[in-house]
Structure 1
């Protein structure tokens, strides 16, 4: 009963606080974010000390190298949090924006106005920086937020929760507008997902198992993506030098994230030249490659790819490679095995690029660029709350606008319906 009571109380407090943050002026919210940035800079030593305890806990509990990488706070992590807060503060306030307006024949003036969603619950693994990204976007968009980070990040998130709470109090806003659940027990998540009376939407960020757990147990609407099986298709007339650099970046820069390339598709006409070049470079970077039969015919010492590999998000230095007949075959492969996350074509053929952009049904599609750009900060959103691979009501990285809905505002002068 203790966990149930604590979580319910947090949700009730968040609902009450949401009324204050929903009507807070833009400058007050921007002041809040700037204070958060200042406090993070001042507490960097304390934050890294707390994070060191989390890393010890993670290693003791057998977390993977990819998860520990996500968990680790470095100096550039702190600078990225500060920069993200400053960037979100500089963005226009979406609350109150008139999206569209028109006049009806009877004289009624109708407009659609952006409003906050209300109370948002964020459930995520590792990555303590998500605590700041999520809080900044929710608060700037006028929403209260309940944050439940992974048990492995509890010490880091406790320090960040105190920074957020003090900053809220300093700006005259209720501390309960952004709360971090200080409970490792997974029962806290189960209880949170029952509270549809107080929470308006849940956004999970993490591995497929976490997201499926949230979806299967939530009474609250969920914005989600299950996994990032991201593809790059190297067309027959691609610039091979550029393609090599892009493929290496997409796979090697951070293999443990959801926008890393998991499958490389190569046009059959490009494969004899490009495949040996790219596999050699990938292997030098530590990538284990798995290939289709046509790939093995060119590079026999490669591990054979199975049917399961095409569906797999490795989150590791592992890559599946398939040689395809043409653009149609590449699009068909992505349609069958993709996860609607991120897919790219590398080509100099403008017609092929247009077809790829039109026919590939993913939240971000790219031409001649790395899949690693599916990120709110990289796309100019300041930060992101997550990436949605469903279309209700957002698709792709979710920034400020995606954390709002619209309501109809109707102004009249005595009209009655007849």
Structure 2
């Protein structure tokens, strides 16, 4: 409003890193803890970087200017620009599973023309406009400079001494505490390296973890969230139909991906009847609905037990199981892998018989693993990822989930 007083003039405003006409400010201490203020416009949305608590999908609800919305998008909070009022302050409120509210003001344009405006506390980082080949990545690996936020350097494909696998080495401004690859997280102090190797402010993102065509990488370091997209151009480029040259996948222990689907094995024929075990040549990749290999859970009486639940579409797998980590009371649960030996055509939930199709129409069998003997007076958080090993020996990880309990 012309001549109106800016109610947030005392706040610290952050400008979008892409130079667009948007700013955000933090309006309470809790929000300051949860959001680092780095944000940018991409396409028809604004993306705001969150802390580890927000990187994990544990918010319960969100609203923009009082209207409910779905804001989760990988390592970022995604706010549709169409929902913002122009030349106005827009209120974004997020409620987590513990009913804590976080409030961010998104300013579009200048709603107070006569009020003094503050310069951003740091200049927007210049961004490029093309995919850049990673040194040592051949024709397969590229990073998108337009998505690079607080990444000090993209070095090369390598396997330094602190890393269990070959990957793309990145450096960030401060010591790393946690890394996220396509929503899957690993603590820098984890004893088992699943998606990366970390040393100080350097991280090797494993090639085997970047199985999507475009991979979302977020690195928590100090008070920052560093972010970048890395492209694996071979991830979704079959020769014909679902036929691929398997050598690059076998060599790097990765597998092809498709939107909404998940890899289910290499076969010699298009009907997926003969397993392909070679390390080179052409083979057919079988895909199934990605919802098949997802995670659900059930708590036992008085929270004394916790059952992990997932599904498979057939019995054509070498093995199935879960990897998990988390906290139980004051104890830390280290990364653990449990293979499951039995599958079921139905299970009981809420005294009702349930079929595997509650996951997907492709689901035929349940597989489960139960944690028993828990103390129901202790809080616990379980980060769980289901997996299966295909008949050709490829380990495939499904979508991770979290089971939380607070007495």
> Which bin holds the TM-score, normalised by the shorter protein?
under 0.3
**TM-score (ref. length: structure 1):** 0.25
Higher helix share: 1
Higher strand share: 2
Higher relative contact order (CA 8 A, sep 6+): 1
